C-alpha cells in the first residue's frame, strides 16, 4: 500500500504540474510577450561608477489589474527597478522583494535570475529634465513555473531528509544510552509489569516482560507530554525490540502496526505548537483547543487501534505474514 501511495503522490504531483503549465501556455497568465506601460521615476542618476538609472517604476492599480486580469491588487504598484540605457536595446530590471505585487513575486521564482525580472524596452519618453520617463516594455517570458518548482522541491526535500536524520543522531545516542542503563538495571521490566494488563491486550504477540513493552510505554508517555526529542528515539528503540520478535524480516508485524496507530493518532495532553501559534495570532482564549484536541486525537487513536486489530485479520494481510516452510 505504501508503494501505491508513494507512486500516487509523485505521479499526481508531476501530472498536475504538467497540466497547470500546459494550461498556462494557453491562458498566458503571466502575459508573456505583451507590452506593459509605466512611469519610471529616477532616484539615482548614472554617474562615473555606474551607467544605470535607479528608481521606482509606477503603474496605476487599475492598469496593472486589467493587464494581469487579477482582482488581487488595489494599490498603485511602486517597484524598485534599474534602467540601463547604455546597451543597444535598453534593459529594465525589476528588483523584487516582499512588497512587490504577488504576480511578480510568483514570476520571480522562475525568472532567469531568481527574484529579478528582466524587461526589454520597446519605447522610452523622457519628461523635461529627466525627472520621469514613460516606459513601454516586455517582461522576460515565464514558462513551466510548476515543473520548475517540482524539480526544485524534489532536490530540496532530499536534502531536508538527510538534515532531519543527521539531527537525530545526538538525541538518539543519548536516549539509547539511558535506555541501555535502564535495561541493565532492570528498570524496563518494572515499568512493563506496571502496565502489563493494558499492554497484553494491545500487543498479545509480545511477551509482557519484553524490553519492547517498556520502550513503547515510555514512547507513548513522552508523546503525550509533547516531548518529541525523547519520543522518537524511544519509539525507534521500541521498533527495534519489536523487530527482534519478527519472524519475517522486512515485513511489519501486527504489534508494529498497532504501535504505529497509537503513535500516528498523536494523542497529546498539551498541543504546545498550536497553542503558541494561537497566542501569537492574538487569540483571547488559546487554551480552548486543549479539550477539543484531546477529543479529536483520542478518537483518532481509538479508531487506529480498532482498525489495526480488524485489518490484521484480513486474509491478504495474514498471508503477508506467513513464513515459507523450508
For other proteins, the closer of residues 121 and 182 by Cβ is: 182
Rule CB under 8 A: which of 284-303 touch other proteins? 284-293, 295-301, 303
Min CB(119)–other proteins separation in Å:
26
Helices 2-27 and 145-184: crossing angle in degrees, nearest 10, is 160
- Choose the binding region for other proteins from 25-33, 84-92, 93-101, 145-153 (rule: CB under 8 A): 145-153
257 is a contact residue toward other proteins (CB under 8 A): yes
- Among 212, 213, 252, 255, the residue binding other proteins under the rule CB under 8 A is 252
Min CB(202)–other proteins separation in Å:
13
Please state, in angstroms and as integers, the Cα–Cα distance from residue 150 to each residue in 102, 144, 146, following that order. 20, 10, 6
Rule CB under 8 A: which of 188-227 touch other proteins? 225-227
- Among 133, 232, 245, 247, the residue binding other proteins under the rule CB under 8 A is 232
User: Which residues, in sequence order, are bridge partners of residue 80?
Assistant: 56
Distance CA 125, CA 4 (A): 60
Q: How many residues bind other proteins (CB under 8 A)?
A: 110
Instruction: Answer for the pair 262, 255: CB distance below 8 angstroms, yes or no.
Output: no
Min CB(60)–other proteins separation in Å:
27
Instruction: Answer for the pair 79, 56: CB distance below 8 angstroms, yes or no.
Output: yes
29 is a contact residue toward other proteins (CB under 8 A): no
- Choose the binding region for other proteins from 29-37, 84-92, 200-208, 283-291 (rule: CB under 8 A): 283-291
| Cα torsion angle, 250, 254, 260, 265, sign | positive
Min CB(322)–other proteins separation in Å:
12
- Choose the binding region for other proteins from 51-59, 64-72, 208-216, 259-267 (rule: CB under 8 A): 259-267
Min CB(219)–other proteins separation in Å:
10
Please state, in angstroms and as integers, the Cα–Cα distance from residue 320 to each residue in 175, 248, 297, following that order. 33, 9, 30
Please state, in angstroms and as integers, the Cα–Cα distance from residue 253 to each residue in 206, 248, 319, following that order. 11, 8, 12
DSSP structural state of residue 52: S
12 is a contact residue toward other proteins (CB under 8 A): yes
Lay out the site mask for other proteins across 148-187 (x = CB under 8 A, - = otherwise).
-xx-xxx-xxx-xxx-xxx-xxxxxxxxxxxxxxxxxxxx
Distance CA 311, CA 317 (A): 7
Amino acid at each position: 500500500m505504501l508503494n501505491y501511495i508513494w507512486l500516487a503522490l509523485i505521479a499526481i504531483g508531476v501530472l498536475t504540474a504538467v497540466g497547470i503549465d500546459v494550461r498556462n501556455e494557453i491562458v498566458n497568465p503571466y502575459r508573456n510577450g505583451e507590452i506593459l506601460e509605466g512611469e519610471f521615476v529616477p532616484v539615482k542618476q548614472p554617474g562615473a561608477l555606474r551607467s544605470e538609472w535607479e528608481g521606482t517604476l509606477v503603474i496605476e492599480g487599475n492598469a496593472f489589474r486589467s493587464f494581469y486580469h487579477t482582482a488581487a491588487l488595489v494599490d498603485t504598484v511602486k517597484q524598485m527597478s534599474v534602467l540601463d540605457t547604455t546597451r543597444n536595446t535598453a534593459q529594465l530590471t525589476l528588483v523584487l522583494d516582499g512588497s512587490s505585487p504577488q504576480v511578480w513575486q510568483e514570476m520571480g521564482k522562475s525568472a532567469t535570475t531568481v527574484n529579478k525580472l528582466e524587461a526589454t524596452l520597446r519605447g522610452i519618453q523622457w519628461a523635461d529634465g529627466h525627472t520621469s520617463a514613460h516606459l513601454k516594455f516586455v517582461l522576460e517570458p515565464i514558462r513551466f513555473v510548476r515543473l520548475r518548482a517540482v524539480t526544485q522541491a524534489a532536490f530540496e526535500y532530499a536534502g531536508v531528509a538527510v538534515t532531519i536524520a543527521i539531527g537525530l543522531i545526538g538525541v538518539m545516542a543519548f536516549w539509547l544510552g539511558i535506555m541501555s542503563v535502564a535495561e541493565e538495571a532492570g528498570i524496563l521490566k518494572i515499568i512493563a509489569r506496571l502496565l502489563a494488563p493494558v499492554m497484553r491486550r494491545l500487543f498479545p504477540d509480545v511477551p509482557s516482560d519484553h524490553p519492547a513493552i517498556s520502550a513503547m510505554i515510555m514512547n507513548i508517555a513522552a508523546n503525550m507530554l509533547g516531548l518529541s526529542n525523547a519520543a522518537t528515539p524511544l519509539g525507534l528503540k521500541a521498533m527495534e525490540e519489536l523487530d527482534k520478535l519478527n519472524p519475517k524480516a522486512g515485513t511489519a508485524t501486527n504489534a508494529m502496526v498497532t504501535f504505529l496507530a497509537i503513535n500516528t493518532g498523536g494523542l497529546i495532553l498539551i498541543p504546545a505548537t498550536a497553542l503558541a501559534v494561537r497566542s501569537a495570532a492574538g487569540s483571547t482564549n488559546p487554551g480552548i483547543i486543549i479539550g477539543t484536541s484531546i477529543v479529536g486525537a483520542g478518537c483518532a487513536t481509538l479508531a487506529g487501534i480498532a482498525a489495526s486489530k480488524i485489518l490484521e485479520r484480513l486474509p491478504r494481510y495474514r498471508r503477508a505474514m506467513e513464513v515459507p516452510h523450508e
